[in-house]
Structure 1
Amino acid sequence: MIRPVPYVNLPGIYYAIDRHAQARHSEFAHFVIAPASPAQQSSIPAFVGALFSAPSAYTWVCEDRWQILGLAQAHPRPGGEAWDLSYLAALTNPGGHSPITSSTEVLMELTQYALNVALTRGVHRFFARIQDDFPEIELFSKLGFQRYARELTYWLSTPEEGLQALAERCQTCGSEHDYDQELHELAGTSAPVNGLQAGDVPDLPAGTVVPDVPLRRWHRHDVWGLLRLYDASTPRRVQMAESLTSKELLYTLAGSGRSWSLPLVEPACIAFVNDRGVRLGGWVRLRFGRGAGPHQLWIMAHPDEPDIPQALVKFGLRVLAKEGARPVACQVREYDASVANALCAAGFQHSRTHALLVRHLTVRALRKREVLAVEPRVVYGVEGLRNTPTHLSEGELTHYATRNLR
């Protein structure tokens, strides 16, 4: 039986227990889908966040005779037209006994139930992110999901190692940059990194970190430029699969567009853009690690700016180096070769690959056809990623255009 669980972030609690068990070389549950890199929090905020989930999150558990066999959770994106499957897991030993039902069946039933709930709420697109080498990826294929991109995760031990690798590369190319001088500038600065978080502080205080390219702080009015930057750096096929709006782009990439953070509750974040006037040449976002969590780095560069990716990587590492020796994680799409090359030049190592999946829940508009406006199916074929969402109403007939728009 599958039932909803309101007001409690049960998957987050189980995921924390599973990570604690894995640290002791054991396993509590098999998480097929989990957050890419959950933000590290102090003990009290982490406990409160795990106990009370966001009102917009939908959580379901699969149980048999009061024993939990699996759980799933989905988060709606801004606008309500797309959902993200954030958690999907099957317990290995529910109740201390061997599972009665196979984990594959539990995972499929939970995913199908989540799709059905999304259909009833008028969702157009349902996204999932799963590790590329997991056998459960066939389960999503049977449920109509399509892989539209791969996401590569790169890992660096410390920012200093990355700066040293870039300095050696510049020396090989005959550059006059000196790595020791850069480290001396970083060590001698008196302006704290936390000062960069406030909105009233200048973009780059004098003597702190000087980027190789002109940068300014990210502002809310840069949403349109960021969307155009996404269009320029993303293949058309991926754009049609994601169908991102400006609000969804802020939610997925820019951390909802906030330039501030709550002290002691969430890690501090800063973002900068390279403004070319008519367009954005690049965008970089940094999130400082906390506890055992690594620093995080996000980069997007225009394809017509070949020098921007390496400059943004170097700037990000110099800022992160002020926070001490801590690993740095960066996620980049497989098709974004310029950013991946810049990361490899800085000494980043590829650690894992995730498949980005999408299931379109609306029917494609057909020429000279009348179909029910709410129809829980989607037409898949050779050109399945060209499905476009229809305008849904409450069970009425939708009259599609009689003119061939192709």
Structure 2
Amino acid sequence: MSSLDRLIEDAASRLNLGYRARSVVTVLTAYIATREDGLAGLGDQFERAGVGALFHSWCRGDEQPIVASQLERAIGREDLARLSRRAGFPPGIFAVIVAELLPPLVDLLTTTNGAPVALRARRLDAHAAGAAGQAVRGVAVRSILACLIGVSLILATSWLYLVTRAPPQDTSATRVAPVADARLSLVVDGDHVRVDGRLPRAADQRRVWNALVQRYGEDNVRGQLQVDGGTRPPRWQDRLIAHLPALLAPGLRLDLEGEHIRVDSRALTVQDRLGVTRVLRDHFGAFDVRGLWTPGIAALHALPPDATPDAVVVALNQTVVKFQPEATALTGDSLDTLHATAAALRQLPAGTRVEVGVHTDSHGDAAARRALSQQRAESLVLALHLLDVPMGMLDAMGHGADDPIADNRSEAGRAQNRRVVYRLLR
């Protein structure tokens, strides 16, 4: 079995695409083959969209994940819609599928252990195999030449630098420490707070420490913050300092590392848990936030194993999930709710059908609002399906701005109108 066949087989099983997996891979491979400069041209598109680092990680075999909104920005909404029609999928679902398949496909089309991938073992498809095969071979040759030229330039530049600038007496090699993520752990114990972490600069260390001292007093802050110049600057630091008074309730544990935030609020009162969750969702939604507690999640967890479909839908309608602005991808603070929703839906009897209705605010053209809501509904349905909810159980329905529940003239009202409503069909 060729590497491409293994990729198709994995997609068919993991994404539950069945025979349609080959169609999606064929469409993607043909699309890459038609780009000017093939795979390198696709990489240029991602660079111009500001997500070139993701594309280059795939070429190295790292396969960092990409969300549907980033994919739309790199490929273009029109091209993505055209490809979705060729593959026979709704645009929202197709974007999520491509976000899963493109990283391993780029890795496959680049190299395997430094050698060009052989894709001739089996035809991709009757109408796409020739173009794809030529593109892959051409990309492989160009990639090798580009790598050789790049390595030569780097070596020549490094040699010139060492000859002209390095002190004659110092011939030892200096190893550069790997770049690590900034890390901070806060544990509130009554009137005391324990802190531990790693930050890139002494100025960062002082800012965080002084903010904690101002909140708790010098004698009540314990622990240590290390300074490590090889650490990436944290994006969460300014937000954390600004919202410390609202976050650090007695009994809370908060762990921040890179793009990930973990919160343990089980020891807090209900009111404090809601307050902490509200601050994290309002100001840290761009991060992968886990451990949030909301009334909707609490209602889902409180459902008995034999809960009726009506009771499950009532609980589901207490949850809140949010999407990236003008995109189909969920925000990082919605993942806990997504998992709890999937767990509740998996308990429903076979044959149950539930409508997943997505509403938007009225900001913009009505037709565009309806199209966006439909894409978001399809994206949410697929995300739940990937968490083992049967695809036949859910119907995606985009309502656009047709049924507002608040005044669209205020931001608070528009936020209420951007919602997901579950409805039992049978």
Alignment TM class, shorter chain as reference: under 0.3
Q: Quick one: higher RCO (CA 8 Å, sep 6+), 1 or 2?
A: 1
> What TM-score do you get using the length of structure 1 for normalisation?
0.22
Higher strand share: 1
Higher helix share: 2
Structure possessing the higher radius of gyration over alpha carbons: 2
> What TM-score do you get using the length of structure 2 for normalisation?
0.22
